[in-house]
Structure 1
Amino acid sequence: MKLKVVLSAAAAICLGVSAAIAAGEPQVVRQEEMKKVGGAMGTLGGIAKGEKPYDAEAVRAALTTLVEVSKTFPDHFPAGSETGMDSEAAPAIWQNMDDFKAKSAKLTAAAEAQLASFPADQAAVGAAMQAIGGTCGDCHQTYRLKK
């Protein structure tokens, strides 16, 4: 009986260590960051489409998330992280890192501009989505692998 407990504990520790190691991998971090961006864009999109009521705090939180993530996003693409973990990152990122960083900076600037002018209603959130979405699409066309 004690052996089963010890083996179960050892297995749990190994799984925990494996998860902790994977959590620090750049591929995992950038996937988590893109999920944050997707959530923020989903919030804005829901408001813009009228699926959710206008909520100034939700808009502010979404725009703030976009600013914060886009400022550090290129940092999660170090050399050697080109493959693995079912990444959708195209090899072109590492071949054109300066352009990739510039595209991320455009997202930062677009989100900061929308945060500064702050969309005050559903229509303004829709306009903000268009301004920000263009930067997302521009980067994804070049640097995201289609799966």
Structure 2
Amino acid sequence: MRKLVIAISMLAFTGAAASADPIADRQALMKERGKLVGTLSKVVKGEQAFDAAAVLDALKGLEANAEKFDTEALFPVGSEQGRDTTAAPKIWEDKAGFNAAEDKFLADVKAAVAAPPADVDALKGPFGTIAKDCGACHQTYRIKKG
């Protein structure tokens, strides 16, 4: 399962990177991130059975995703405008804060991978931290649709 998640992640990112479209590239990474967080969320909510290997695979997938998240390449000046982007101007106004938010996310995911949860209760703490990282970043650096 882990190899499958990583392979899909690499293929999705490679295809997006070839397009040289930073908006599409960052959207692909965020979509992948959302799917992985969604998988973990289902486990935490009890909608999916806890499987230690699958949870670790999802956490490792998040780690790989976050390691590919190059803010300079994905958010160059000028890419704040354009088709269907929900990236807030705050990203370019506060690049240091945006980078710090992404660094925190990566550190929290790495911590979860380093101490893999043995059951759903052990997953709840790290997942809560990761989810808060996502929410805080979206609150500040993402424009809400509609």
Q: TM (normalized to structure 1)?
A: 0.80
1:23 is displaced (CA, Å) by 3.7
* 5+ residue gaps, structure 2: 1-15
Mean CA deviation greater in 124-133 or 29-38: 124-133
2:37 aligns to what? Answer: 41
Structure 1 moving runs of 4+ over 4 Å: none
2:78 aligns to what? Answer: 80
What CA distance in whole angstroms lies between the structure 1 residues aligned with 2:122 and 2:81? Answer: 39
1:72 is displaced (CA, Å) by 3.2
The Cα RMSD (Å) is 2.0
SS, match of residue 40 in structure 1: helix
1:71 is displaced (CA, Å) by 2.7
CA gap 1:78/1:118 in 2 versus in 1, 3 angstroms? same
- Structure 2 counterpart of 1:96, which letter? D
Task: Quote the sequence identity (%).
Answer: 43
1:128 aligns to what? Answer: 126
Count residues in correspondence.
129
1:84 is displaced (CA, Å) by 1.4
What CA distance in whole angstroms lies between the structure 1 residues aligned with 2:85 and 2:60? Answer: 25
- Structure 1 counterpart of 2:132, which letter? G
SS, match of residue 79 in structure 1: coil
Write out per-residue CA displacement over residues 52-79 of structure 1, whole angstroms, 9 at most, x where no aligned residue.
Answer: 1112222122111222222332231111
Q: TM (normalized to structure 2)?
A: 0.81
Q: Does the Cα contact within 8 Å between 1:67 and 1:107 map onto a contact in 2?
A: no
CA gap 1:44/1:25 in 2 versus in 1, 3 angstroms? same
1:128 is displaced (CA, Å) by 1.8
1:137 is displaced (CA, Å) by 1.2
Q: How does 1:110-125 map to 2 (within 5 A)?
A: 110-125=108-123
What CA distance in whole angstroms lies between the structure 2 residues aligned with 1:103 and 1:126? Answer: 21
- Structure 2 counterpart of 1:91, which letter? P
CA gap 1:84/1:52 in 2 versus in 1, 3 angstroms? same
1:50 aligns to what? Answer: 46
Q: How does 1:12-27 map to 2 (within 5 A)?
A: 23-27=19-23
* 5+ residue gaps, structure 1: 1-19
1:44 is displaced (CA, Å) by 0.5
2:8 aligns to what? Answer: none
